[in-house]
A and B are shown apart, each in its own frame.
Chain A
């Protein structure tokens, strides 16, 4: 029988991990249970279930600061009304992750710590400049989410450390968007996932970009921030020409591989396409021009079905 612990506090969890070398944290289990069955993770390793810890739970707003507990489920993020409006990229990423059932189980912390190059929530957190709190035997440290994942399936968490929460700010006049390219329209990992975030100096079509960030998923060993956007965008609205430059910068920031979800060349191209689309939607949101709810998954105004399903 596997040793199984269900601590009631973060410090208890840390103590258990310290006392059981090789023990693994389990949250929603949607990655770990499969990995254990297929032998990609040691099926006999003791499990430390963090879903019983109150302080790790929940989606909470404190003014313009969003506090996401490590065990906040993807469905809780997806359905938070303020997340949908103020940090739309997070809601858009959450909405396309797996299925209803998977989203009910899967957690934000699990998505981050599983460190898949295609992990859906990471690019949105990066563009929102989110900061992760990590608890270990030596206490808590904070680390930009952009620095948490260090490679495919590796993070900066030392053994014995757990992720406790992620925090970010959603100031006024900011907006974000997450788009992706997949083969199927649901239940698929991203071939390319792109998050964009924009802070403007005002509202309306002419609102100038003050700050902008674009992060790319599934096109490099870890999600990457596209460098050098300020010089391309700051001080003006995102014109077609500027968006073209964003596309080029995004494509250049990719180090993709070819696999069953796309060729390297294609990924590089699509990263550019989606970066421009996501950025212009993020700008529209920041500038108060967006009224459409969540964007279509590939950012293209998609059609309604035509052979007559009863509405």
Chain B
């Protein structure tokens, strides 16, 4: 099967096995290695990407289902011509990344959460990010970073 998808704004047409996961297509075919994996069981969230305005775990997303979809990965979160967006900058300044392995998935999940208008409080952000495990930070600085952007974007 051939799928046509848009990844970070670029049209991609690839012959694929439709039962392949989006994760393997991103990492192995498109060499977009910013998306990580930590479990392949949907539990860690390291592989989170956005498919048509919804965050999903790409390790469980078969590509057969997303023909025509618009996909955003960590490489495309900031948008064209920008190195980082406000959320990524907040992760840097708040010290929200340590080993950084959860970070791409965390940033992508948090970005979609913000776009969905998460309530700007710690509890709501924690609930929204419960699918992204971080073993390094204890989450405090991640929550602070996301909260600061949630408040800033409201203004």
Direct contact of A and B (CB under 8 A): yes
Partner among A51, A101, A309 whose Cβ is within 8 Å of the Cβ of B65: A51
Would A309 and B122 be within 8 Å (CB), given that A2-B17, A29-B60 are in contact?
Answer: yes
Would A101 and B45 be within 8 Å (CB), given that A2-B19, A47-B19, A187-B131 are in contact?
Answer: yes
Closest to A26 in B: B62
Interface centre among B48, B54, B64, B122 (most CB of A within 10 A): B64
Task: Check B74 for interface membership: any CB of A closer than 8 A.
Answer: no
Closest to A30 in B: B60
Would A98 and B131 be within 8 Å (CB), given that A2-B18, A4-B19 are in contact?
Answer: yes
Task: Check B6 for interface membership: any CB of A closer than 8 A.
Answer: no
* Number of chain A residues close to chain B: CB under 8 A: 30
Query: Nearest-CB distance from A260 to chain B (Å)?
Result: 15
Partner among B1, B18, B56, B64 whose Cβ is within 8 Å of the Cβ of A105: B56
Would A99 and B131 be within 8 Å (CB), given that A49-B62, A105-B56, A310-B147 are in contact?
Answer: yes
Task: Check A311 for interface membership: any CB of B closer than 8 A.
Answer: yes
Task: Check A141 for interface membership: any CB of B closer than 8 A.
Answer: no
Q: Considering the chains assembled together, what is the distance between the CA atoms of A29 and B57 in angstroms? A: 11
Partner among B1, B19, B42 whose Cβ is within 8 Å of the Cβ of A101: B42
Contacting residues, chain A, for B65 (C-beta < 8 A):
6, 26, 29, 49, 51-52
Q: Does the CB pair B62–A101 fall under 8 Å?
A: no
* Number of chain B residues close to chain A: CB under 8 A: 37
Closest to B108 in A: A101
Q: Considering the chains assembled together, what is the distance between the CA atoms of A33 and B143 in angstroms? A: 31
Contacting residues, chain B, for A311 (C-beta < 8 A):
121-122
Contacting residues, chain B, for A105 (C-beta < 8 A):
56-57, 60-61
Query: Nearest-CB distance from A88 to chain B (Å)?
Result: 17
Instruction: Give chain B interface residues in 113-144, CB to chain A under 8 Å.
Output: 113, 121-123, 127-132, 143-144
Contacting residues, chain B, for A28 (C-beta < 8 A):
60
Q: Does the CB pair A186–B127 fall under 8 Å?
A: yes
Query: Nearest-CB distance from B71 to chain A (Å)?
Result: 14
Instruction: Give chain B interface residues in 1-60, CB to chain A under 8 Å.
Output: 1, 17-19, 21, 40-43, 45, 48, 54-57, 59-60
Task: Check B109 for interface membership: any CB of A closer than 8 A.
Answer: yes
Task: Check A156 for interface membership: any CB of B closer than 8 A.
Answer: no
Q: Does the CB pair B42–A34 fall under 8 Å?
A: yes
Contacting residues, chain B, for A101 (C-beta < 8 A):
42, 45, 48, 55-57, 109, 131
Q: Does the CB pair A100–B128 fall under 8 Å?
A: yes
Interface centre among A26, A34, A101 (most CB of B within 10 A): A101
Contacting residues, chain A, for B48 (C-beta < 8 A):
101
Task: Check A37 for interface membership: any CB of B closer than 8 A.
Answer: yes
Task: Check A258 for interface membership: any CB of B closer than 8 A.
Answer: no
Query: Nearest-CB distance from B117 to chain A (Å)?
Result: 12
Query: Nearest-CB distance from A209 to chain B (Å)?
Result: 33
Query: Nearest-CB distance from A43 to chain B (Å)?
Result: 8
Query: Nearest-CB distance from A59 to chain B (Å)?
Result: 15
Q: Considering the chains assembled together, what is the distance between the CA atoms of A36 and B18 in angstroms? A: 14
Would A34 and B40 be within 8 Å (CB), given that A102-B131, A187-B130 are in contact?
Answer: yes
What are 16 sample pairs from A and B whose C-beta atoms fall under 8 A apart? A2-B18, A4-B17, A4-B19, A6-B64, A28-B60, A33-B59, A47-B62, A99-B130, A100-B113, A100-B129, A101-B48, A101-B56, A101-B57, A105-B61, A309-B122, A310-B147
Minimum-distance CB pairs A-B, first 4: A99-B131, A186-B130, A4-B18, A309-B122
By a beta-carbon cutoff of 8 Å, the part of chain B in contact with chain A is 1, 17-19, 21, 40-43, 45, 48, 54-57, 59-62, 64-65, 67, 109, 112-113, 121-123, 127-132, 143-144, 147
